[in-house]
Amino acid sequence: MAKETAILAGGCFWCVEAVFKMMKGVESARSGYIGGKTKNPSYRDVCNGDTGHAEAVKITFDADVISYDTVLDVFLVTHDPTQLNRQGNDVGTQYRSTIFVANDAERAKAKAAIERANAIWNGKVVTTIEDATTWYEAEGYHQDYFENNPYQPYCMAVVEPKVSKARAKFRELLKPEAASAR
């Protein structure tokens, strides 16, 4: 197994986590905070918008099953990478669209993925590339949020449409149980 990690921020972390938990080769998708200046931030701190952190998801995957390039392509299609510091009604730098990279190879792949996405989004992608900094895992109740709360109003209105889009567009990449769900 060629284990790799990607850290992605694309609005509310519940959405990004829910999409990637369905993908073949994804070992884990954990919600957390990265890219800010406050040590050990809480959800409340990050939501205030003054810590500099983004809500993000750390995805651990088997690169022999799903490549880093494919992870980035799924990410850039299942949220709106043309919205600066927001996703829908979630507004602020904590909801920015960012690919956090650990090295130059990841940076080059991120740049190439953004170019591919620009072809889809008519050159309007605003997703940034930032160096990965200290990762802070979010509180336990944020983990597997959509799985545990599928009928919560936000999940039904915001998360479910992104999950459905991923199911429709990336059916061949889904774990069998995700492909047959809802």
Which residues are known to be catalytic?
12
Which tokens is 80 given? 């709106």
Q: What's the gap between Cα 48 and its chain centre? A: 20
Query: What is the C-alpha to C-alpha distance for residues 11 and 156, in angstroms, rounded to an integer?
Result: 16
Q: How far is CA 161 from CA 70, 79, 150, 154, 166, in A?
A: 20, 10, 12, 11, 9
Radius of gyration of the chain (CA): 15
Which tokens is 38 given? 């406050």
Do residues 11 and 88 lie in contact, with contact meaning Cβ atoms separated by under 8 Å? yes
Query: What is the C-alpha to C-alpha distance for residues 130 and 118, in angstroms, rounded to an integer?
Result: 18
